[in-house]
A and B are shown apart, each in its own frame.
Chain A
């Protein structure tokens, strides 16, 4: 089966600019996650979708980050305006049902550098 697709692979922007990341989950996977991984740290959940509804966005900085999952398939994560501390790898993951018996499948991530 095809894996989780993410684009772009790399992005360099200046602070205060905006950026968007795209994710296409594995076909049939109802649950989609966006994680932020800062260098030297483990991934941190930003937002979780079940189909096109938000399940958990408690750690999403809503003043600058937004995410949507139209039609319950693809998802986009946007940062506007970006700050230096947003430099990180943004990982998208999906799972079949959102339960532990369907482990998360991660994409290769988008590496964002904010200068």
Chain B
């Protein structure tokens, strides 16, 4: 039962352009969504989050959009930089619990 799905295993974007990473979920009990970034041989690091009562949250070059009716969220990175090359995980937090349910991840490659 895959509650959080990232259907694109990989994405390649040119430096300076916009990167859009997508995530779909099935569990209506998620009250927060988070994005984590992971470099090889390192643990995931927290990037940005959004409450389920919001539809947008912005932090510098990173913006997360939430469409509750479609059960879809996306992470926009503008402009993309070489250091953004990493695996990005989308995660949902179940209301009333602290457990995070992660998607499979999307490997983002920024080409110079």
Decide if A14 is an interface residue (CB 8 Å cutoff): no
Query: A109 to B89, alpha carbons, bound, how many Å?
Result: 16
Please tell me if the beta carbons of B97 and A91 are within 8 angstroms of each other in the complex: no
Q: Given A99-B98, A100-B32, A42–B91 Cβ distance below 8 Å?
A: yes
Partner of B45, one of A42, A45, A98, A106: A106
Chain B interface residue count, Cβ-Cβ cutoff 8 angstroms: 23
Tell me the minimal C-beta distance from B17 to chain A in angstroms. Answer: 26
Please tell me if the beta carbons of B99 and A104 are within 8 angstroms of each other in the complex: no
Kindly supply a per-residue 1/0 record for chain B positions 62-91, scoring 1 wherever the CB is within 8 Å of any chain A CB and 0 otherwise. 000000000000000000000000000101
- Neighbouring A residues of B97 by C-beta, 8 Å: 56
Please tell me if the beta carbons of B43 and A45 are within 8 angstroms of each other in the complex: no
Decide if B49 is an interface residue (CB 8 Å cutoff): yes
- Neighbouring B residues of A45 by C-beta, 8 Å: 99-100
- Neighbouring B residues of A41 by C-beta, 8 Å: 104-105
Query: A40 to B6, alpha carbons, bound, how many Å?
Result: 11
- Neighbouring B residues of A107 by C-beta, 8 Å: 43
**Residues of chain B at the chain A interface (Cβ within 8 Å):** 4, 6, 9, 32, 34, 41-46, 49, 89, 91, 93, 97-100, 102-105
- 30 pairs, A vs B, C-beta closer than 8 Å: A31-B98, A41-B104, A42-B6, A42-B91, A42-B102, A42-B103, A42-B104, A42-B105, A43-B44, A44-B102, A45-B99, A45-B100, A56-B97, A56-B98, A56-B99, A91-B44, A95-B98, A98-B98, A100-B32, A100-B49, A100-B98, A103-B34, A103-B46, A103-B49, A104-B46, A105-B46, A106-B44, A107-B43, A108-B41, A109-B43
Ordered nearest first, which 4 A-B pairs have the shortest CB separation? A106-B43, A42-B102, A103-B46, A98-B98
